Amino acid sequence: MKSVTEQRLLVTGNEAAAIGVKLSNVRFISAYPITPQTTIVEKLAEMVSKGELKSRYVEVESEHSAMAAVYTAALAGSRSYTATSSHGLLYMHEMLHWTAGMRVPLVTSVVNRAIGPPWNVWADQSDSMNQKDTGWLQVYCESNQETLDTIIAGYKIAENRDVMLPLMSMEDAFVLSHTSEPVTVPNQSMVDEFLPEYKPEFVVDVNNPRGYGSYATPEGPFMELKYDMVSSMERAKSVIRDTLREYSDTFGREYSGLTENYMMDDADYAFITSGTLASTAKYVVNKLRKEGKKVGLIRIKFFRPFPQEEIREALKHVNAAGVIDRSVSFSAGGSLYSDVIASIYRKLDVPVSGFVAGIGGRDVRISDFEHMFSLVQDGTEGMQWIGLKEVD
């Protein structure tokens, strides 16, 4: 059911993220600026100063501190948010493990940007792919609409008692973060109904003193607690599916779950990718279909938890697939590629090609996709770099 009072606005991905934060009734925000995340936190600071958003906004001196402040604020009982990118996210790495291990259901926006040297501010998912083993749920958004919706749905997923893990929502630098698109902004009262007030089970209370995160020995519950995180990540899959279905029903979207399949029903070949490369891929799929080539796309929206089941199901009837990583994983193939291969191992006999494309913001053109398609058709194995220039 659509709300009559929802608004249609022309906004950048970063503005969409800020609007999502505001609608989610976040009470505590702390962040440190880094291009191309800055316009998110500037927008939030502006909303707070105008009184449109009733939050505390604390300007800290580093990303490590930003994450430290938001996890403690959440433990002390306030819904909290931060945003970062690239080197900022790397600087947070220790804290990312800590917040997930503390089971604090934060939502954090990450604008995917390359890691230096050399300095480069353009789109590249190496920053968040580096964090894949921190215990955070990871969503790679394809549009500004999805960026907004993911924050609201993200809090509901993260705060679910079956999950209680933080969630990272990604936007490709500039392609989403600084590009305007029409976005439907849901109305506040409907969001309030969808996303109840933050009420954690373990909140800091002097009348019920507890310890949060002291040490555990090899015989203590350490291993069990890590196992519980892994189980929660698995349980998160059905929570994600249910929550996105409910979100779609409530706000009139079409989010199907951890992945999005495009023209996969009768596909002989499949592209697999994430983020905005999926938009180009969809265009190319349409083009190749007109040429009589039966190709489809699996967009990996949730990279954590990893959608093994969805990928296996979608690849059941294809002849070959090609995975496109917009990130570098040294010596082990791409991160998406490795996980896709691992999820079909001994279950499906499908050749999978791997591609590294578009890193450091390099354009991935229609002709590049057509080239990748021919390599997939040929069953080319291993990782190929797409769009490399001759260097002497």
Is 65 a binding residue for other proteins by CB under 8 A? The answer is yes
196 and 190 in contact (C-beta within 8 Å)? no
Looking at residue 46, its amino acid is E
Which residue in 4, 61, 118, 389 binds other proteins (CB under 8 A)?
61
Q: Is 183 helix (H, G, I), strand (E, B) or coil?
A: strand
Give CA separation, 5 vs 54, 185, 251, in Å.
21, 9, 12
Give CA separation, 57 vs 31, 43, 382, in Å.
8, 11, 47
Nearest residue (CB) to other proteins, 54 versus 316: 54
Is 345 a binding residue for other proteins by CB under 8 A? The answer is no
Nearest residue (CB) to other proteins, 192 versus 205: 205
- Compute the least distance from the CB of residue 198 to other proteins, in Å: 11
348 and 315 in contact (C-beta within 8 Å)? yes
Whose tokens are 């109305």? That residue is: 187
Is 87 a binding residue for other proteins by CB under 8 A? The answer is no
Nearest residue (CB) to other proteins, 19 versus 96: 96
Give CA separation, 60 vs 15, 30, 41, 93, in Å.
21, 7, 12, 17
Whose tokens are 């373990």? That residue is: 202
- Compute the least distance from the CB of residue 222 to other proteins, in Å: 8
Nearest residue (CB) to other proteins, 108 versus 353: 108
Instruction: Please give the biggest Cα pair distance in the chain.
Output: 70
Is 283 a binding residue for other proteins by CB under 8 A? The answer is no
Which residue in 18, 73, 173, 352 binds other proteins (CB under 8 A)?
73
Is 95 a binding residue for other proteins by CB under 8 A? The answer is yes
Interaction residues for other proteins, span 124-183 (CB under 8 A): none
> 117 preceded by cis ω (within 30°)?
yes
Interaction residues for other proteins, span 172-231 (CB under 8 A): 204-206, 208-217, 220-221
Nearest residue (CB) to other proteins, 225 versus 342: 225
In angstroms, the CA 251 to CA 184 distance is 9
Residues in contact with other proteins by CB under 8 A are 27-28, 30, 56, 58-62, 64-66, 68-78, 80, 94-95, 98, 204-206, 208-217, 220-221
